[in-house]
Amino acid sequence: MLSPAGSHHLNKLRSILIKGAYERRDVWPDRVTALKALKRRDRTKKWDPRVLDIFIKHGIRPYPGSYYPRILIWE
């Protein structure tokens, strides 16, 4: 829903949220490392361990780049 006054009053909040999204880590080498990192992170360390386990199992996925070997061909 749009406010008749516009959304300019949300610019500061929008900037903070965007900055946080860009800076938040979202790639880990494996699920075990992701779990350890999320257990230490302020926002997720308070989660019930069962919720965190479900998030690790269903909320993250393998990085597609890990399925393909890095091959550099120079001609």
Residue 57 confidence (pLDDT): 92
Return the residue matching tokens 């929008």: 14
The pLDDT of residue 73 is above 80 = no
pLDDT tens digits for range 24-64? 777 888 889 999 999 998 889 899 999 999 999 998 887 77
Token pair for 52? 């965190």
Query: What is the Cα 74 distance to its own chain's centre?
Result: 35
Residue 7 confidence (pLDDT): 78
d(CA 38, CA 52): 8
